[in-house]
Amino acid sequence: MEEIISAIATPRGKGGVAIIRMSGEGVLALAEKMFSPVGKVAVKDFEPYRMYPGQIDAGNFSDYGLCVYFKAPKSYTGEDIVEFQCHGGESVARGILKKTFSLGARSAGKGEFTKRAFLNGKLSLASAEGVADMINGESEAEVKAGYLLYSEKLTKKVSALQDDLTYLLAGIDVSVDYPEEDIEEQHVEEIKVELVKIAERLDGLLAGYSVGKKIKTGVTVAICGKPNTGKSSLLNCILGYEKAIVSSIAGTTRDAVEGVLEINGVKFNLYDTAGVRESGDVIESIGIERAQSIVRGADVVVFVSEQDGEYDEEEIRVLEMAKGKPIIRIRNKSDLLEETLATDGEWDIMTSAVTGEGIEELKDMLYEKSLGERSEDAAFLIEERHYDALRRAKEHASGAIFACGKEPLDLIGIDVKAIWDCLGEITGETATESIINEIFEKFCVGK
Ligand code: GDP
């Protein structure tokens, strides 16, 4: 029998309402000892999923609140759950929690409710990670990706692969047990065709990772170009507040300044860089080195210039630095132009940090260049752990495909089983205890 665990499920501090949650067998009997419902109903006769008003006894004081009972297995943890809603003062919630301890409950560990849900088969390990991603998500896109994970989007695809692998393995086992040479040759060809399809599906899942990773960590944007072209001003204009130091003396942006922006719910980390002039100034050359390393690590580079197309040596050096990266070329200070330039110049967008021209267009292009037009539904692969398991699964798939026709079937079977096991790490079926514990460590107490 699992012990009753208890925790405050709402954040610490003052609030309208606080929730104390308990899970485990006998939880309703425990609640009966500290909750006096209004009216004639007894706690033991509570209908599940219904709120009952009443008095909550916290030992040294009482509160007037609500009690709700979730009956196993139709509850978050798969066990009987009782929740009290009380007034949202920290001492009120803590007093009620202490009372549950005095009646036999013990303090829940981090993520222990969700861990019990996983152990009771209510959700897969990937889904539990989705819950943590939603709670920890800093941007809307991260929450959305967490939700896709939580709603078993990845697990469904992975489980379908596992089912096909199980079917394949059964066929291999039969051939190994009853070998008849001519049948085996034909069978190996069929197995190979199936394995190629499986490898393609694994590739499809792996491809979602770069988008997922950007959603989780944010897209890194390096704003670069010659000094005084208006990089800091543009950064401020995009962010909508004064952060970077703006000055008309060349070389003042010596440090990379970070600003964070959300575009369509995705976090973009913007870095302003110093220009890359040859310089005798030590501080400035440190800035240049930093600029180079920022550009190297950037997902997208915004190149700012005042030129209409003919770039000078210094600008060519900046462009060289950004080679191989998606780049957006800006023609800034459009407000200083007497008449509008033809749009078929060397630049992608004409902007003005003074009038705000082109800024919205720049934001759209930043999104498009870094995340493409991928369906957002593909962005559920955001955990390094899942990527690693899929990558290893793919390696075994490639190994098995290569072995077809060259190695005996039972050896191919070992690789096929290894693919299944790698995928099981995602769903949780083959995850080790330490992996499971590590995952639930990321949760807060009460979830
Ligand atoms: P950075 O060295 O590239 O970061 O350039 P700054 O942002 O410090 O700007 C250099 C100078 O150009 C400052 O005096 C800005 O006010 C001015 N500036 C920047 N952008 C624009 C623009 O779009 N239009 C005009 N007229 N001036 C600008």
- The more confident residue out of 57 and 267 is 57
pLDDT, tens digit, for every residue of 164-200? Answer: 999 999 988 887 777 665 666 778 899 999 999 999 9
pLDDT, tens digit, for every residue of 301-356? Answer: 999 998 876 788 888 888 888 899 999 999 999 998 876 555 556 789 999 999 99
Domains of the chain, CATH where assigned: 5-108 (3.30.1360.120), 127-208+381-440 (1.20.120.430), 215-371 (3.40.50.300)
pTM of the model: 0.74
User: Would you list the DSSP string of 374-424?
Assistant: --GGGTT---HHHHHHHHHHHHHHHHHHHHTTTS-HHHHHHHHHHHHHHHH
Tell the residue nearest (CA) to atom 18 of ligand 1: 230
Q: Is the dihedral of CA 146, 150, 152, 155 positive or negative?
A: positive
pLDDT band at 139 (very low <50, low <70, confident <90, very high): confident
- Give the nearest ligand 1 atom to 336 CA: 26
What's the gap in Å between 287 CA and the centre of ligand 1? Answer: 19
Q: Is the dihedral of CA 229, 233, 239, 245 positive or negative?
A: positive
Which of 224, 226, 228 is the pocket-test mutation for ligand 1 (most atoms within 8 Å of CB)?
Answer: 228
Query: What pLDDT is recorded for position 79?
Result: 97
| H or E segment and range at residue 261 | strand 257-263
pLDDT, tens digit, for every residue of 196-247? Answer: 999 999 998 998 888 888 888 889 999 998 888 999 899 989 988 655 555 5
Which of 229, 232, 233 is the pocket-test mutation for ligand 1 (most atoms within 8 Å of CB)?
Answer: 233
Tell the residue nearest (CA) to atom 25 of ligand 1: 333
What's the gap in Å between 310 CA and the centre of ligand 1? Answer: 20
- Residue 381 has which token pair? 């692969």
Query: What pLDDT is recorded for position 119?
Result: 94
Around ligand 1, the residues with Cβ closer than 6 Å are 227-233, 246-248, 253, 332-333, 335-336, 352-354
